[in-house]
Amino acid sequence: MELFLEQTLNGLQAGFTLLMISSGLTLIFGMLGILNLAHGSLFMIGAFVAADVAARTGNFLVALLAGVAGAALAGILMETLVIRFLYQRDHLDQVLATLGLVLMANQGVQMVWGIAPRTLARPSWLEGSVSLFGLQYPIYRLAIILAGIATVVVLWALINRTKVGMWILAGNTHRELLGALGVNVTLLYTGVFALGAALAGFAGVVSSPYLTVEAGMGDNFLILSFVVIVIGGIGSIKGAVYGSLILGLADAWGQTYLPMLVGEFTDPSTAAAIGSSLGSASIYLAMVVVLLVRPRGLYGAPSG
Amino acid sequence: MADRDDTPDETPETGREAGPETAAPIAVTSRLPLVVTVAVLVLVAAAPLVADAVGFSYLLGTLTRAVILGMAAVALDYVVGYGGLVSLGHAMFLGTGAYTAGILLFQYAEGTGLGTDQALVAWPAAMLVGAVLGWAFGALALRTRGVYFIMVTLAFNQMMFFLFNSLAAYGGDDGVRLSGRNRLGPLSLEDDLVFYYVCVVLLVVVLVVFNRLVRSPSGWLLRAARDNEPRLRSVGARTRRHQLTAFVLSASVASLAGALAVNESQFLSPAISHWTQSGELLVMVIIGGVGSLVGGVLGSFGLLVLEELAIEFTGNWQFFVGLGLIMIVLLARRGLAGLLLGRRRNV
């Protein structure tokens, strides 16, 4: 039972981290129609900036802010210099150009910060653990879950309760009309891209204590976000929320229970090997199930 | 956002994506005249001799890689250019072929388990495994179109990448060095130049096969489905079957390229199936000109030369390759083949 609770919380923490990345990705696709492979690079840039600032100031909050701002700034640069010219292009061109951005970013962080991997420590005030139903659980992981919930609430409020949110919704379907009403659509697009970039940067900073800050660290998160979007349906924030949580939990439970399940049938060492590969594959299995049942995702737009 | 309820409908989408932007159909270069294909192949065949004559014989390895990856790019172009299906997962088939041939070779040398050093067994085996995986992944991925197809193929690519990484018996993520190349009858593949020409001959065969396929009824249907799938389905054409056939053939040839690649490097490593390699294959297709088949070969030579130059002049070659890619997309839309031919569009 304690194991189940722990794995569930771990799954939620991973899920909410993914949510911060995939919600930005899906927002950008829904509005700008861009498939941005460089979204994982924004995650990485946030982490690098934060690691650098933390090493200089020793203050996690300042580092967090700097990381988010750095990612947002990188996002604005990307949008104005490259992405903007891809809106009317086919997906192939978008893939190629954003892959170019990925290569530049991966090499760029090494040119600025060197090739040695960096680390970012948890803040001292989030060290330690709390007792939850008899389980000692790290405070920092709980904080990520709370930050994830806060992200969902803020995004929901932004989109459903503000004028900017109304523009974003309108821009999804009627962008010429929105422009005709006097909204600066170009600026709005840049803003949405920067918002997605900031969310990715935020995810990059808060995940860094569990990762090594190095080139390419965001790639796997990018691909997992794609799986989230395939599960949830593209362009749908609601889909991103459910998709992220399903994926986080499927991974955590799969990694824990599949080896045990296999262990019932074979000897421990084989079980560990088979089980762990099955566990890592569980997220893709989840995607396959969705593809078979609902090819356009749980909340995807109807076809046609 | 778009929280409209989905009706369980597996009819693939038409030109319209889920987003508001109706992305333009893929910009396709016209199929090149036969004379261009022949000219490219003559250049490819002459390349090692020229390189040797001007004192760049050390480039033979790079040229061999260009031929092998060019073969994979030709296979990918059949799916992307003629099928309109952008696969960002073809490196997993390179990996499949490499691991099939590589494991057979490794086990033959170690004397453990199933193994062979015969190219005539290992290479067809690689193609067979590639075709089976291509069928499984293709059937799943083809339930989607457009941007979903890109994401699903990329996800499968990552899954296979992690699978190869977890094969501890074959070096895990470090990979493992092989003790030599496959054996092919009386030919000595250990001789780099002989191996190069074996690859060139296979490339010619692949080009001939795909050129025939393009003109076959299945190829016509594939292209027609790219341009207007709903119309084709409404007249009773089973478009998905032809798309799956194309994907399986493409996967199989990419696996053959993977088997050749592991022979070239004599090093079995999961790096060959990294997702950026899938991206590079697409880059080759685009640089060469989408939907031109032989363009894949042009693109692969173009990209590898660009990389060699970038490595020559700077340690930060990836940065400049990335910059080059962006420039190509923004400035040269039809690729090298498009520049050669102007803007014709009569595929």
Q: What is the pLDDT of residue B26?
A: 64
Contact criterion met (CB below 8 Å) for B268 and B98: yes
Q: Can you list the positions of beta strands (E) in A93-249? A: 129-132, 135-138
Let me know: does A114 contact A48? Beta carbons within 8 Å. no
Asked if B11 lies within 8 A of A172 by C-beta distance, the reply is no
Cβ contacts (< 8 Å) between B159 and chain A: which residues?
Answer: 281, 284
CB neighbours of B283 closer than 8 A, spacing ≥ 6?
Answer: A96, A99, B299, B303, B325
Per-residue pLDDT tens for A199-210?
Answer: 999 999 999 999
Provide the pairing of β-strand B176-177 with B267-268: antiparallel
Q: Which residue of A has its CA nearest to B2?
A: A236
Rounded Cα–Cα distance for residues A237 and B132 (Å) = 36
Look at A235 and B18 and tell me if their CB atoms are within 8 Å. yes
CA-to-CA distance for B240 and B115, rounded, in angstroms?
Answer: 36
Q: What is the pLDDT along chain B (347 residues), one digit of tens a residue?
A: 333 333 333 334 333 333 333 344 565 655 567 888 888 899 999 999 998 888 888 889 999 999 999 999 999 999 999 999 999 999 999 999 999 999 999 999 988 888 999 999 999 999 999 999 999 999 999 999 888 999 999 999 999 999 999 888 898 889 999 989 999 989 899 999 999 999 999 999 999 999 999 989 999 999 999 988 999 999 988 899 999 999 999 999 999 999 999 999 999 999 999 999 999 999 999 888 888 899 899 999 988 888 887 787 777 888 988 998 898 888 876 666 666 655 444 43
The 10s digit of each residue's pLDDT in A60-110 is 999 999 999 999 999 999 999 999 999 888 888 899 999 999 999 999 999
Closest chain A CA to residue B151: A226
> What pTM was estimated for this model as a whole?
0.89
Residue found by looking up tokens 């803003």 in the block: A191
Phi and psi, residue A136, nearest 5°: -85, 110
Query: b/e map of A15-48 (b: 16 or more CB within 10 Å)?
Result: bbbbbbbbbbbbbbbbbbbbbbbbbbbbbbbbbb
Return the bridge partners of A137, or none. A130
Supply A125's token pair.
């005030």
- Share above pLDDT 70 across residues of chain A, in percent, rounded to a whole number: 99
Most distant pair of Cα atoms in chain B: their distance: 66
**Which pair of tokens denotes residue A143?**
């904080």
Using a 10 angstrom Cβ sphere, with 0-12 exposed, 13-18 middle and 19 or more buried, the burial of residue B46 is exposed
Cα separation, B18 vs B149, whole angstroms: 13
Strand (E) or helix (H) holding B269 = none
| 3-state SS class at A118 | strand
Query: Which of A29, A96, A171 minimises the CB distance to B325?
Result: A96
The answer to whether residues B293 and B32 touch, using CB atoms and an 8 Å cutoff, is yes
- Distance from the Cα of B72 to chain A's closest Cα (Å) equals 17
ipTM: 0.90
pLDDT mean over A18-45: 92
Q: Token pair for residue B97?
A: 């072929």
Q: Residue with structure tokens 């490196």?
A: B91
